[in-house]
Amino acid sequence: MKTKTKISKQSERKTNPELVETILAAKKNSAWLEVADLLSGSRKKRTNLNIGEINSKADNAKKIVIPGKVLSQGEIDKKRGIIALNFSEKAREKLLKAGCNTKTILEEIKSNPSAEGIKILK
């Protein structure tokens, strides 16, 4: 796990303002520190998952956090809360059709600062 100082220094190099805001908000809450750690690293290390992979890895978790992008390949069979940095257009459509709730990580940090009931998929 990185220190908060290292996370801050790495976030200074990021050019996406939404990503920087998400990293800083996650860094402030100790429950979200692991997400800040993953997002502040290189783009190669970010997790990009297809819907089918999320469905198989999620077990019985109600809210799933993906520190990266959700892609549209596959199907989902349970209604879940999917929280990610970004969604492809088709993935968001599929998730909404399946009855899943989609949010960005920043929205979830603001509504759930204690990170209750979430599972982080890496």
The pLDDT-based confidence of 122 (bands split at 50, 70, 90) is confident
The pLDDT-based confidence of 1 (bands split at 50, 70, 90) is confident
Give the global pTM. 0.91
Tens digits of per-residue pLDDT, 49-102? Answer: 999 999 999 888 889 999 999 999 999 988 999 999 999 999 999 999 999 999
Mean pLDDT of the chain: 93
* Residue 9 pLDDT: 93
Assigned CATH for 4-120: 3.100.10.10
Please tell me the distance from the alpha carbon of residue 17 to that of residue 105, in angstroms, as a whole number.
14
Kindly list the domain boundaries of the chain, sorted by start residue: 4-120
What DSSP assignment string belongs to 46-90? S--EEHHHHHHH-TT-SEEEEEEEEE--S---S--EEEEEEE-HH
The pLDDT-based confidence of 107 (bands split at 50, 70, 90) is very high
For residue 82, what are its two tokens? 């999917």
Residues 63-91: b if buried by 16+ CB within 10 A, e if exposed: bbbbbbebbbeeebeeebbbbbbbbbeeb
101 three-state secondary structure: strand
The pLDDT-based confidence of 17 (bands split at 50, 70, 90) is very high
* Residue 21 pLDDT: 96
State yes or no: pLDDT of 45 exceeds 90: no
